Amino acid sequence: MNLFRNDLEGRPRAFWRLLFQFALYLVGTYLLVNLALAAFTLLGLVPLESSALEDLVASPTFLVVGALSTFVATIVSVWLAGRFFDRRPFSDFGLRPMDRDWWIDLGFGLILGALLMSGIFLVELAAGWITVTGTFKVVGNPDAPFFPAILAPMVFFLCVGVYEELFSRGYQLRNMAEGLNYPNLGPKGAVILAWMLSSLLFGLFHSVNPGANAAIVAVIVNITFAGFLLGLGYILTGRLAIPIGLHTTWNFFQGNVFGFPVSGVEPIGATFFSIEQGGPPLWTGGIFGPEAGLLEIAATVVGSCLIWLWVRVRSGKSVLQSSIADPPPHLTEKVPGDTG
């Protein structure tokens, strides 16, 4: 068996496709972020002194520019990988904006993310673990107008919701499922295993975030559970609409509505509520934010049940989309035992 290429399908095997896309993503993000930084300095928007550059990189403006750069790099890397390595159309990775059902699912995901994070906030408030210290606060400049400042995190978290879901679920989960689709596992087993592995990888990626070292095991476990929640909407529908909507409002409500840290990162721009965090870190997540606490795991369980119910009500059934593990239909049918 050729370890590098599936000769029957005429494309690299799944491991190499994943590696190629990841390399394109890293190179593209690095180039675009540094081009943006060079543009800021050449236009005279920031001096060349190291301290000024550090302030720029930490600013809401540049964080949004970085998110937009990563967004573009992810879209382009997945398109190129799909076109030349996977040999499948871009829509197969779960972005289908021309589909009416896609937008309905997106709306559900947006509402669900807001509701789940609101539930965490209300539980902590009722338990006396947080104290609301103010409302409509601009981070770092309390005299600045609120509504222009809140636009930066809106754009930032929308970009994050799209590119992390396209990367982790749309591309990684699908290719893992194809690569694991052996006869003794079957397509459904391959999808489930890929769902678990991609969620674990999602947790490991977040373990390098600020504040993660204080509770590294809790961070990896909790973000992995978040990956299960986000991936469930994909493996039940084959679309990224629910994960993108859920991811976007989960982050935005966490950081910029309720003032929690988001995966260890303090809120940027402005917050509707400013808070002081107390309570047991085992439940609240401490300095990393709710995503390292037991309340987050409870929210993922509730959210998973609601996603399952939503899909069942909308389609009349709620079953795994085993086609995620199938190669593109225009490629030669696989011989039993020969995997992607």
What are the percentages of helix, strand and coil residues in the chain, rounded to 5? 70, 5, 25
DSSP of 264-284 = TBPP-SEEEEEEEE-S-HHHH
pTM exceeds cut of 0.85: yes
DSSP of 51-119 = HHHHHHHTSHHHHHHHHHHHHHHHHHHHHHHIIIII-S-GGGGT--TT-HHHHHHHHHHHHHHHHHHHH
Q: How far apart are CA 167 and CA 79, in angstroms?
A: 11
- Domain locations along the chain: 7-88, 96-325
Q: pLDDT (tens digit, 0 to 9) for every residue of the chain, 340 residues total?
A: 688 988 888 899 999 999 999 999 999 999 999 898 888 777 766 555 545 455 555 678 888 999 999 999 999 999 999 999 999 999 999 999 889 999 999 999 999 999 999 999 999 999 999 999 999 999 988 888 999 999 999 999 999 999 999 999 999 999 999 999 998 999 999 999 999 999 999 999 999 888 888 789 999 999 999 999 999 999 999 999 999 999 999 999 999 999 999 999 999 999 999 999 999 999 999 999 999 999 999 999 999 999 999 999 999 988 999 999 999 887 755 444 455 5
Q: Provide φ and ψ at 5, rounded to 5°.
A: -135, 135
Nearest C-alpha neighbor of 275 from the set 51, 124, 150, 96: 124
Pairing of strands 130-138, 5-6: unpaired
